[in-house]
Amino acid sequence: MHSKPFFTHLIGNLMTTRIGDADRGSVLFTCSLGKEPHFFIRQNSLIFRQKHQKDLVLFSDSESPDKAQHLLNALTEALVRRQKTKLFWRNLFFGLSLLALLAIGSHGLLSETHTTDNTPLTRTDSASAPLLPEEHAIEKSLMQEPSPALTTLAHNLRDAAQRKIFTVPLTTGHSRTIYVFLDPLCPHCRDLEPTLEAIGKKVNIEIFPVSLIGKKATAEQVIPVLCASPEHRKALWHSLFDDPPLTPSASCDIGEKALAVNDKAFSAYGFRGTPQLISDDGRPIPFSALKNEDTLSSFMNAEPQEKKDE
């Protein structure tokens, strides 16, 4: 008669082992893994040892000595899976951080073409759109052929959004996309929300949350949003603008790292303030382009100046 298999799950540092079924089997033991955990077999018994603790017998069966070995194999596989997961997220985090830092080389060129950094948004009344900067911004250098730096920026933002880790997808299903760096505790960002809701009917809106203004307070609100599945993030994001805001849920390691990468990217690209809007071809979007559907369409679909002169 074959013995029942062992199934081990790790949630954080909590290890649980069941017999017979991964989800409904009887719990054999649960233990908390501290520093330098070590498992080994001694006289048909599985022993758990960790630094500064007494050895603990987790399992013993003198009639079936092979069971202790099978259990040790299950524990080892669980620990290896956890280590691989840690290495994956660590490599992803540092890889994307490096990608963002490599973009520093494009900082100077990007700063030269960015004409709308940190322009204050105000309202003429409770129903009107924000006051906009100079009306001729669209006809200026933003109409030039996108530079290699802007093309790289567009590619990086598109790649990051497609990973579904770093962004809050507000709207989808359209042919064009606008990437927006926002801090929910930024007053101008809050003023921009109705505008994003309106233009989201024509273009995709991908939010990259950052903690530029609120720092720790922003992180406490944003990290739980990034911890949620992509399809649930929109509702959670909108709840941050309620009065009072929704009580934040528990944070997670993935959400913390995602926000840290967004903050590094924001700094590496040389953005000076939030809200920061970028088109899917890498051009910074002036607030004057958000005046109405026509001005936004003119900006998004504008032909480069060099082609017009041909």
pLDDT at 110 over 60: no
CB 142 within 8 A of CB 284: yes
Residue spans of the domains in the chain: they are 6-86, 107-308
**Which residue stretches of the chain are H helix?**
65-102, 107-113, 148-162, 187-199, 216-227, 230-239, 253-268, 293-300, 305-308
Identify the pLDDT of residue 87: 67
Identify the pLDDT of residue 232: 92
Identify the pLDDT of residue 276: 94
- Residue 138 per-residue DSSP state: G
pLDDT at 179 over 70: yes
Identify the pLDDT of residue 83: 74
**Strand 204-209, strand 177-182: pairing:** parallel
pLDDT at 301 over 60: yes
Identify the pLDDT of residue 115: 38
Its pTM stands at: 0.56
Identify the pLDDT of residue 172: 94
pLDDT digits (tens, 9 = 90+) for 256-294: 999 999 999 998 888 888 999 999 999 999 988 998 888
Diameter of the chain measured on Cα atoms: 88
pLDDT digits (tens, 9 = 90+) for 196-240: 999 999 999 999 999 999 999 999 999 999 999 999 999 999 999
Task: Please give the mean pLDDT across all residues of the chain.
Answer: 77
CB neighbours (10 Å) of residue 28? 18
Indicate the pLDDT class of residue 93, thresholds 50, 70 and 90.
Answer: low
Query: Which top CATH class is 107-308?
Result: alpha beta
What lies within 8 Å, CB to CB, of 38 at 6+ separation is 48, 49, 50
Q: Which residue has the higher pLDDT, 61 or 94?
A: 61
**Which two three-digit tokens encode residue 207?**
């939010």
pLDDT at 52 over 90: no
